[in-house]
Structure 1
Amino acid sequence: MTEISNKDIKQCDVCERNSLLKWKCIDCQLSMCHLCMENIHTKFKLSETHKIISLTGSHERIKPNYCHIHRNQLYCIFCQSCDHLVCPTCLSENHSQHSLTEVEGMVMKIIARIKSFEEQIQNTLIPLCMETLSKISQLQCVEHVRFRSYIGQIMHQEERLFKHIQLHREILLTKLQQKETEIKDILLQKKKTFTINIDKMRQMKMFIDNILQEPGDMDVDYLQRESEEMRKWLSTEMSSPNEQTNQPMLPIFDSMNLNKKLISKMFGFHNSSSELSISFNKSFSLSLPSVTCMKISKNTETIYLWIGCNAAQKIEKYRILPDFKLEQEISDKKVYDMSTTISGDVLFTCSNDTCLYKAKKDGTRKLRSFAPLVPKAVYVNLKDEIHISLQEYGMNKRHSKIVTIDSKDSKEIKHYENGHNKEFFVCVTRITDDSDCLYLVDALSENLEGRIVAITKKDGLLKWAFDGHVERRFPFTPSDLVTTKVNSLVAADVRNNLIYILGNHGTLFQMIDTTKIGLMRPCCVDIDDSNLLWVAFTPTCKTAKTTDIHVFRYE
């Protein structure tokens, strides 16, 4: 029992004489002195079952506090109904029918609760803050590296632009000097011609003067010939001075107005816009229950759409321009991923199949076997190199790697493999690249929850990882990935109805919610030569027999 010293309080409810109250019977609602509790209360019916609480005494661990209402009395008990301490007077006046408990019990509960707070802080909040602090530190490092990289790019762009300006200046000056030399030569020649003509005209004048002075001494025949030649020469030279002055002119230097827009277009600019405008361009409906993968290829002026459908076990090739028409169909293939080649053919992998296949106009053939590993993602880059992800059979297998092979002889050029102390990827379902990095869709679980990772081509190290760290309803589920002409990335998040635009440093530029344009479950993306974004959407109905593909223009 808790004992807290108290004095100068009301009298005992039993004997009504003793004012030194020491006990409170919760069942009888009586405040008693020690004698009444020992000698009288024990004789009450069922008194041994009553709950007795101490009102007086002291306890070393609890500091006594005076009641803020009855300032000469100490708190003696805790009222659970009102959730605060009360003194004996408060107890008899307002709390006699309330749920009461000893102060020490209440203190022990508070201490236990504080200890739980301590455990929560120690075991949850501090580790979480430390993890966040670590991420912030990593972000600081990444941003610092990006900052230095951008500075380097700006300085390099300045050098490149300056070299181009110098080269263009030299070309203009050289052409101008050549033109000036050409004009000088022409003018010197004309000056020489006019000087000769002036001398000739002076001789003619002297001849004329002589004839006029002594016309009888001249031979008539000779005079006839000379006058005729003189007439012809004069008729020619009378029109030639004006023609001779029509000379080639120096080219005019047309200097452009160096406004901010023109300089930004030539030099480059910071792209920090958070708004991306998209608009419908066209749509197609396919007689397929779903789309597993989709690629766009171009042959001269004709655009082709390759569609792989795992559910229907087929690949279809459609001609888009000048009209939409099915041109080729490959059956009995549970396609997993595919990629078009520079020549317009398509490479593809199949579920649980150890071979890489090549489809052409005249049929399909096996390009290479990777047994016992299963090829999954495949991508052919602009250098005609083939990147392929390989996996042990089954999602629970951990061995995975990426190989790069030559498209001509299918020989391995390079490979990227998880080591003993690193695991940069688990199950790569899609691949794309640029000059520096491979970009991967990495599935971390069987339901394809995953992330997008970038590994460097030079040393195969992890550059960054993007796990969709934004507000979303479901876990990040990237289903497809494509690079743009400006080295940004477009990724489809099929479960969250989102399309992400990422920078090649893993920065989120824009997030498009397809439900806002009335479309759900974007599963495949690709970009054509006209910079149009092609998106395939998985039907929401399980019994659907058609699939829609929409083409967007984005800015």
Structure 2
Amino acid sequence: MDPRTSAQELILCELCKTGALQSHCELCQINLCKACVGEHLSDSSKRHNVVPYKHRKSTPNYPKCAKHAQKHCELYCEKCDIPVCITCISSEHKGHDLSDIQRLFSSKTVESERDLRELRKEIYPVYEKIASDLNSEKVNLQEHFEKLTIEITKQGEDWHREINIIVNKRKSEIDEMKAKYLALLNKQQEKIKRAISDVNQSILDLNEILDSNEVSLTCAYKSRNAEFRNLPPKVNVQLPSFSSQINKEQLHEMFGSLCALSITTAQRGYIMETSEAVSCPPVKPLLDEPELITTIDTKYKNLFSVACLTDDEIWTCGDIDIINFYNNKGILLKSVQTKTRSWPGDIAVTRSGDLVYTDNVSRTVNLVKKNQIQELFRLRGWKPYYVCSTSSGDLLVTMISNDKKESKVVHYSDSSEKQTIQFDDEDKPLFSSHHVKYISENRNQDICVADLGANAVVVVDQAGKLRFRYTGHRSTTSEPFEPHGITTDSQSQILIADTNNHCIHILDQHGQFLRYINNCDISFPSGLCTDKRDHVFVAQWIGGKVKKIK
């Protein structure tokens, strides 16, 4: 039961606080008693719609103004990101971009309903499947590792058997060699014994002849000394030794090795199968005609880059050693001189609001914080050129080798190299060697590079895998595509400055051409950036002007 209509509770008028509730104003979303209806309708500045309370529609409950208690907020200030009433517009919100809160409510309602459908029909089932898969993985994990343990145990048992066979064979070989050597020694020993006996007998015979002084015995004597001088040959034997042919390292390798446990992460995704999801319009459709909001004269002769700090404040850099900070009205708020007094290669603003700039003379990437310049890192063999800050607070830097033969993109986290993007799956260079390569990270974490040397935009995913190349759309342009600055918006749309054709190309996140921005008197666009409301800041190379476009 609705507590507002419960018989146990008397609902009172929201104006007088005493009369019994009878009516409801659908415009102002206020409950009224009979006496206060007339007073409420006396305000002719609004088209009130008072109905019996029981017949009230389920209309949005407009918030009351925090500063004007009797007013409801019917508008929304985009700059301040808050609902406002009509009275507020003429005071602190004067000149701000305003939108109808009912239109915003309707848009957000459609978006919320679409998100709810997607969550229920697409995303939640995917998460359920992931949870189920994880449970299956846990069940299979024990079985897999038990199998590994059994395999290794069996390998050990096989090795023990083979080693016992080898050991026994080697022992048998030792016994055979020992017996052979011993037999040889025994044979030599027998020969020597016989020779000694023969020598002793010759000594006895000679003593007898000499003692007898008999002529016949003496004349019959035959000398054997020549025979005895021929000594038996000496047998040289090299005793066997045992040497191991493997060391412990080799033993481990021969036994077998385990592949290392490899744990990686990959971006999960799902495919929307319903035609409804495909046909849903973007939350922020493109205007029929882009609108020029303001022009800021930076006084640079040649302007290279622009980076938003807020919706109303920008950093700029060009062909001097000064990086300037302006507001929307073109008022110079601050200046930073580079440490080496050389032109900055490019600029970016970090998530914390600090300025980063590259210096290809000193080969450094530098952080400007509280008016102090801090060197984040210095390159060797490479020169940094263009830079952007990622959604995670890291930096992406395009760079060229000293010999100008190679280009690459390097992902830095806390001044440490995290990832290098240089080659495709066929080991071919993703980028030309030309040094002009503006860079931006898309909301889906794709990395978008405007490669002037290749006259193309190269888009890779966060793993560095090529997604697509865009080489221009010749429907209305007359000159070759010449990409310089590149940025993305909240819808993951990619915006590219085409200097040759004095326009901005807009693509969707899959590389499909959507439209040009070729009005607003754009000439020689170079750097680009977008603010939180998807306004585009265009740095014009010649003349040094920045144009803010809706």
TM-score bracket, normalised by the shorter chain, equals 0.3 to 0.5
User: What TM-score results when the alignment is normalised by the length of structure 2?
Assistant: 0.48
